[in-house]
Chain A
Amino acid sequence: MNEIEKLDSEIDASCRVSLLALFVGAAFWLVVASVLGLIASLNFHMPEAFANCPWLTYGRVQPAADDALLYGFCIPAGLGVALWLLARSGRTPVRGALVPFVAAHLWHLGVLVGLIGILAGYSTGFRWLEFPRGASSPLFYAYLLLALWAMMTFGARRERATSPPQWFLVAALFWFPWIYSTANLLLVAWPVRGVTQAVVAWWFGDNLLFVWLALVGVGAAFYFLPKFCERPPQTFYLALFAFWTLVLFGSLCGIPQGAPVPAWLPVASSVAAALLLVPLLAVVIVAWRAVRGSVLSKWDHGPFCFVGAGVVCFFLSGLMWMALACPEICRVTEFTWFVPAQAQLQLYGFFALTMFGAIYHILPRSAGFELPFPKLARAQFWISLSGVALLVAPLAIGGVAQGRQLQNPGISFAVISNSTLPFLRVSTTGQLLLLLGNLIFVLNVFGLASAWKRSVLKKALALVKAPLETAEVQA
């Protein structure tokens, strides 16, 4: 084992407990999100099934499912990947690993409180910010601690020159505290008046769902794709360009075209969304240059497939996001199933797939054990990918059909709603597939964590049972 490998395994070991705490919790919330999403979806097929249980009505279960996925899975998974990646690429072990370990538990506690709050009816009512106040402060402080530790690791890096993945991840570390505190102060603590609330909520949703996820997911993809293909990163300036255009234009989108606000807001938003074409193309080209020539030979490598499919989904969901900001298209697709289709493609297709690949790569190295079910993990790629396709495509197509019918005042609303049911049935099948894929992911992560726990117990037991040193016996 040479020097570099020794340092690598030292770094992996230094973030072991933090990563296990973050990823095990994330895997748990992923399954919770799938189950809640399935219940929400069943509300359309069997409206009377949960009608007498207020906790399971659509208005509560749907935001709970979305927030369990976003806050429960996406953010802790992204933070874990960021912590490991900043440590690895800076060639510095994480010091004081107890703090991120505790912060990870505080985060998951916040998610638990928030989800119970939503299901009990205490949602704030703002999209993507539904968690009540009791949940948002633990989440905020847990994130601050985790981000602080990742930043300290980054600051102590031995390799001083920075690389593109580091910019993306460091920006993401700063992005969330900024938008989350602003949105909570302006919407929940001291609410601003009138339509400004909606503007703040749209700004927050765009910055969390588009910018934050893109920063972490694309940063991870820029790190892992060259690594999986065993070559140094091919592009530096194009990645720099993708970074600045993404944060500059991405953060200005999000105001719907039909919004009842002064015209310059939606116009600025749609102009920024049109300019998103630049970072989208740049990301795809950077990724393509990293994998060019190795796609076929790497096709059997699980994490590579996950991250590669994630980048493709990022491009597609980015195009859908641009379409939603185009006045001509938005007039048809606004208030239809097209909007959730875009969000699900961004959350599941882009971010979750990328994170699956990253975690399948990181966790075995960090925990020091092989994946317990590598063949199932391989199958999970195809199950999750087809799940995403079956979830998103029908919703997007159904959304366009629904929007076109809504333009026609001759068709009654009930008829239009009924005509979307076949699309919803197919998308429920997609959700079932995603649930299956997520269960495989949980099986692997939990299996790995329990193997590690067993080994720790075994070591502790051996320590207890070990014969006393002669010197101690004499004393």
Chain B
Amino acid sequence: MSDESDHIPPEPPGRPPGPRSPAPMGFFILTLVLLFLAAVYFDHHSGWFNAQVYHPFVNANELEKYQPKSGEAALLARGMATYERVCGVCHGNDGAGKPGQAPPLAGSEWVLENGVNRLTHIPLTGLSGAVDVKGQTWNLSMPAMGAALSDADLAAVLTYIRGSWGNKAGPVTPAQVKAARAAVAGQPPINGLQALKALPE
């Protein structure tokens, strides 16, 4: 069952088997060229191991370019981030509210009032008892979710909910929040529709 060809020809020890072929210079050059092109491609597209950079962005600078820096856009972005962290869990990231949890903010008459005193008051002290929102009565209890936020953050959130999901009302300034916070210091939650209406608009 053995055939003549079925063994490796004996080699002198220490020498690689087979005739000494020349080193494959062409392959070294091809590899170096490919490595260079690969490095250029990696440099342009990878974001250099930055964990924040995802496709289709290619580096941190480009990503930074799309981040709002100042003005109304920055305020809205800050408001949106805070809203989705603090408020969106109950009121929904779309502001539509959730049955049995929280009334809608989109189109809510309390959000869209011209004066912002009542609106600013609610997150600072909380609100319990029955209130009417968009023709529906909600008998729930909201803790003082905004009391721990800074004036600037709460102002940004209120500006965001007054200007999003079809709402078109003016911004709330940090100064207004600061004044409201001083006025409500130590007060219990607003209790019911009458108490809410009793507040100055």
Contacting pair A230 B5 (CB below 8 A): yes
Contacting pair B13 A161 (CB below 8 A): yes
Contacting pair B1 A275 (CB below 8 A): no
Contacting pair B21 A278 (CB below 8 A): no
For A445-471 the 0/1 string (1 means CB < 8 A from B) is 000000000000000000000000000
Residues of chain B with a CB closer than 8 A to A4's CB:
7, 10
Q: Which of A9, A161, A282, A364 meets B27, CB within 8 Å? A: A282
Judge if B51 is at the interface, Cβ distance under 8 Å. yes
Contacting pair A232 B38 (CB below 8 A): no
**How big is chain A's contact interface, by range?**
35 or more
B176 to chain A minimum Cβ distance, whole angstroms, is 41
Q: Report the separation of the CA atoms of residues A460 and B2 in the bound assembly, to the nearest whole angstrom.
A: 25
Q: Report the separation of the CA atoms of residues A364 and B2 in the bound assembly, to the nearest whole angstrom.
A: 10
B97 to chain A minimum Cβ distance, whole angstroms, is 30
Which residue on chain A has the smallest CB distance to residue B27? A241
Contacting pair A264 B15 (CB below 8 A): no
Judge if B17 is at the interface, Cβ distance under 8 Å. yes
Within 8 A of B (CB), among A402-420: none
Residues of chain A with a CB closer than 8 A to B42's CB:
264, 267-268, 271
Within 8 A of A (CB), among B21-50: 21-24, 27-28, 30-31, 34-35, 37-38, 41-42, 45-50
Contacting pair A267 B46 (CB below 8 A): yes
Contacting pair A163 B8 (CB below 8 A): yes
Judge if A472 is at the interface, Cβ distance under 8 Å. no
Known: A5-B7, A282-B24. A161 touches B14 (CB 8 A): yes
A362 to chain B minimum Cβ distance, whole angstroms, is 10
Contacting pair B58 A278 (CB below 8 A): no
- A contact patch SS: helix
A235 to chain B minimum Cβ distance, whole angstroms, is 5
Residues of chain A with a CB closer than 8 A to B17's CB:
161, 163, 232-233, 236
Q: Report the separation of the CA atoms of residues A261 and B46 in the bound assembly, to the nearest whole angstrom.
A: 11
Q: Which of A227, A263, A275 meets B53, CB within 8 Å? A: A263
Q: Which of B1, B35, B46, B53 meets A368, CB within 8 Å? A: B1
Contacting pair A227 B6 (CB below 8 A): yes
B116 to chain A minimum Cβ distance, whole angstroms, is 40
A94 to chain B minimum Cβ distance, whole angstroms, is 17
Which residue on chain A has the smallest CB distance to residue B7? A4
Judge if B65 is at the interface, Cβ distance under 8 Å. no
Within 8 A of B (CB), among A140-172: 159-161, 163
Judge if B16 is at the interface, Cβ distance under 8 Å. yes
Q: Report the separation of the CA atoms of residues A159 and B13 in the bound assembly, to the nearest whole angstrom.
A: 7
Judge if B18 is at the interface, Cβ distance under 8 Å. yes
Q: Report the separation of the CA atoms of residues A262 and B10 in the bound assembly, to the nearest whole angstrom.
A: 53
Judge if A379 is at the interface, Cβ distance under 8 Å. no
For A221-234 the 0/1 string (1 means CB < 8 A from B) is 00000010010111
Task: Number of B interface residues at 8 Å Cβ cutoff, please give it.
Answer: 44
Judge if B57 is at the interface, Cβ distance under 8 Å. yes
Contacting pair A241 B7 (CB below 8 A): no
Judge if A296 is at the interface, Cβ distance under 8 Å. no
Contacting pair A235 B47 (CB below 8 A): no
Q: Report the separation of the CA atoms of residues A281 and B27 in the bound assembly, to the nearest whole angstrom.
A: 9
Residues of chain A with a CB closer than 8 A to B9's CB:
232
Which of B17, B28, B51 has the largest number of chain A CB atoms within 10 A? B17
Which residue on chain B has the smallest CB distance to residue A159? B11
Contacting pair A263 B54 (CB below 8 A): yes
Contacting pair A237 B58 (CB below 8 A): no
Contacting pair B21 A236 (CB below 8 A): yes
Residues of chain A with a CB closer than 8 A to B18's CB:
163, 232-236
Judge if B55 is at the interface, Cβ distance under 8 Å. yes
Q: Which of B13, B16, B30 meets A278, CB within 8 Å? A: B30
Within 8 A of A (CB), among B57-94: 57-58
Q: Report the separation of the CA atoms of residues A89 and B8 in the bound assembly, to the nearest whole angstrom.
A: 7
For A364-384 the 0/1 string (1 means CB < 8 A from B) is 110011100000000000000
A310 to chain B minimum Cβ distance, whole angstroms, is 20
Judge if A1 is at the interface, Cβ distance under 8 Å. yes
Judge if A266 is at the interface, Cβ distance under 8 Å. yes
Contacting pair B54 A234 (CB below 8 A): no
Which residue on chain A has the smallest CB distance to residue B47? A263
Which residue on chain B has the smallest CB distance to residue A274? B38
B20 to chain A minimum Cβ distance, whole angstroms, is 7
- Given contact pairs A236-B16, A237-B22, enumerate 9 new A-B contacts (beta carbons under 8 Å): A4-B7, A234-B19, A236-B17, A245-B31, A262-B54, A263-B46, A263-B47, A263-B54, A264-B48
A-B contact pairs, 6 of them (CB 8 A): A258-B55, A262-B53, A263-B57, A268-B42, A277-B30, A365-B1
